[in-house]
């Protein structure tokens, strides 16, 4: 059934990262069902789903946002069962079942400029130009990890300082502009991959010249982050970009376009003070 669900999601044209998330959520539900009910799964029942939500809250003690992510997978699974399996005849879960998430006030950014620069320097000192270029793109161009790994050589235009970013499947793209800092990092990486005889259409290929796996990047970043003493991931660096760009004078719409935010309210979060700034202000009371 999981294999069929996987194929169903692919046929819907969803991004591979979204598919992985939905599959993980459904596998988690089916594992819980198997362990708690000791019978073969047939279809979704609302009563079971409500029990599962309670399990996630009371036993797993997950936060509302994480629970809602898991429920999103079950919503897709419900749709799949209704379309592909006649035994499922009704909708038993929807967005109305989402947990209420407290509104975010503090900026999403959790690292400062000196943290980012120290992180980049650690990578540079380890002579890993591929990860140095990636870290620079996340922190100073605002790309998502999946977007950076999808980049082809012809997407990068060093002369005009533009990057063509593909957003999911299809022909939808956006133009991202690069600072001199980003261009310099990319030039260094392109020079190294040329010297090493790398032959791949991808800008950041794996050692086998295929698309680099996100897990490889995350693992490497975790290793470097330990030397900095901060939690620094591609997503954290992207948060830093948005917050830093607004602080340096870019408009909300400019940052939204650069970061690819479909909802301007997401970008507005970065106009709020960071948690550190909030605490500093509170200490002055």
What span, in angstroms and rounded, lies between the C-alpha atoms of 96 and 4? 27
Q: What b/e sequence results for 140-158 when a residue is b if at least 16 CB atoms lie within 10 Å of its CB, and e otherwise?
A: bbbbbbbbbbbbeeebbee
What pLDDT, in 10s, does the model give residues 192-221?
Answer: 999 999 999 999 999 999 999 999 999 999
Instruction: Label the pairing between strands 173-177 and 156-157.
Output: unpaired
44 close to 81: Cβ distance less than 8 angstroms: yes
At residue 270 the predicted structure's pLDDT band, cuts being 50, 70 and 90, is confident
What span, in angstroms and rounded, lies between the C-alpha atoms of 221 and 224? 5
218 close to 173: Cβ distance less than 8 angstroms: no
Chain centroid to Cα 61, Å, comes to 23
- Within a 10 A sphere around the Cβ of 214, how many other Cβ atoms? 16
At residue 249 the predicted structure's pLDDT band, cuts being 50, 70 and 90, is very high
54 vs 50, 51, 62, 82, 94, CA distance in Å?
Answer: 6, 5, 10, 24, 16
Residue 110's contacts (CB-CB under 8 Å, 6 or more residues apart) are 231, 236, 239, 274, 275
Q: What does the pLDDT read at residue 169?
A: 46
- Within a 10 A sphere around the Cβ of 278, how many other Cβ atoms? 14
Indicate the Cα dihedral angle 252, 255, 260, 266, nearest 10°.
Answer: -50
224 close to 131: Cβ distance less than 8 angstroms: yes
Please choose, from the candidates 70, 81, 9, the residue with its C-alpha nearest in 3D space to the C-alpha of residue 45.
Answer: 81
| Averaged pLDDT score across all residues of the chain | 91
What are the tokens at 73? 């997978």
Indicate the Cα dihedral angle 252, 256, 258, 259, nearest 10°.
Answer: 130
What span, in angstroms and rounded, lies between the C-alpha atoms of 24 and 43? 18
Which residues are marked as active site? 144, 169, 235, 238, 261, 270
- Indicate whether 261 pLDDT > 50: yes
Q: Which domains does the chain have, with CATH numbers?
A: 2-97 (1.10.150.130), 113-283 (1.10.443.10)
What are the tokens at 222? 């975790």
Q: What does the pLDDT read at residue 168?
A: 56
- Indicate whether 223 pLDDT > 80: yes
Query: What average pLDDT score do residues 218-233 get?
Result: 95
User: Among 98-112, 120-134, 152-166, which stretch is predicted with the lowest mean pLDDT?
Assistant: 98-112
75 close to 30: Cβ distance less than 8 angstroms: no
Give the side-chain half-sphere CA count within 13 A for 28.
Answer: 20
């Amino acid at each position: 059934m999981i294999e069929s669900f996987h194929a169903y999601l692919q046929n819907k044209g969803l991004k591979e990262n979204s598919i992985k998330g939905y599959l993980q959520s459904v596998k988690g539900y089916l594992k819980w069902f198997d362990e708690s009910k000791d019978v073969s799964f047939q279809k979704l029942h609302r009563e079971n789903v409500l029990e599962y939500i309670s399990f996630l809250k009371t036993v797993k003690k997950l936060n509302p946002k994480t629970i809602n992510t898991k429920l999103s997978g079950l919503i897709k699974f419900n749709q799949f069962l209704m379309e592909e399996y006649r035994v499922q005849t009704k909708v038993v879960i929807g967005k109305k079942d989402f947990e209420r998430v407290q509104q975010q006030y503090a900026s999403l950014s959790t690292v400062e400029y000196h943290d980012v620069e120290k992180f980049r320097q650690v990578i540079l000192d380890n002579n890993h130009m591929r990860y140095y270029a990636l870290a620079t793109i996340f922190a100073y161009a605002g790309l998502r990890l999946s977007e950076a790994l999808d980049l082809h050589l012809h997407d990068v235009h060093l002369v005009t300082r533009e990057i063509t970013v593909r957003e999911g499947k299809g022909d939808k793209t956006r133009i991202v502009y690069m600072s001199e800092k980003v261009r310099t990092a990319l030039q260094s990486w392109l020079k190294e991959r040329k010297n090493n005889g790398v032959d791949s259409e991808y800008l950041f290929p794996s050692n086998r010249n295929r698309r680099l796996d996100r897990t490889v990047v995350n693992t490497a970043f975790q290793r470097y982050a330990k030397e900095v003493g901060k939690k620094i991931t591609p997503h954290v660096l992207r948060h830093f970009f948005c917050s830093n760009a607004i602080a340096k004078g870019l408009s909300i719409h400019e940052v939204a376009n650069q970061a690819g935010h479909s909802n301007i309210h997401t970008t507005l979060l970065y106009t709020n003070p960071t948690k550190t700034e909030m605490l500093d202000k509170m200490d002055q009371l």
